[in-house]
Amino acid sequence: IEKCKVRFVVKYVTRQTTPHNMTSSPTTSAGAHRVFVYGTLKKGLYNHRLLSKAKFVADARTREKSFALLLAKAGYPYLIRTTDDPRSVPGELYECNDDTLAALDVLEEISTGMYSREILEVEVANGATPTALSAYFYLAGARDDLNVLPRIDAYTKELHDEVYLPKDQRGAGAYGSLP
């Protein structure tokens, strides 16, 4: 895992136009919410149980190449916007109900600012032409150790199994630990 300095970009840019092949809302006509996950919520990983009632849509990746994926000391990924070697991030796209979305907000500690729920465009393979869809995702909040966290290209099962430490096993006061 390579260590690098990453400039944290606080602003969030929204597109003013919607391409003809992209839906503009992360909520479907049936009321389900599309959510893009890139870490411990992916299939086969520790927190995927929270998506047990969600529908897997497809493997996906961020359409914008404006992100860096960092690895926190407790072994979970931390997605930030950056201008320093920005990249597209791979993950999975799900459709979930209001209760599941609320549970994800609790896991990602929206109320503390650890993450914020944002909207982005993801691309899913749809035959020869990728389809762009809007989805919710969790963007990392500010923290004082961003410049020392290692950068990763993707959060894999192998990496997860090697380094992930569940919240209830983290020391008191650690980022992402239980109160």
Please measure the distance between the N-terminal and C-terminal CA atoms of the chain and give it in whole angstroms.
Answer: 29
Sheet arrangement for strand 77-81: 2-3, 150-152, 67-71, 77-81
User: Please, what is the Cα angle at 67 between 92 and 123, to 5 degrees?
Assistant: 40
Q: Active site residue: 92, 95, 108, 121, which one? A: 108
Active site residue 108: yes
Give the CB-side neighbour count of residue 16, counting CA atoms within 13 A.
0
Which residues participate in catalysis according to the annotation?
Answer: 108
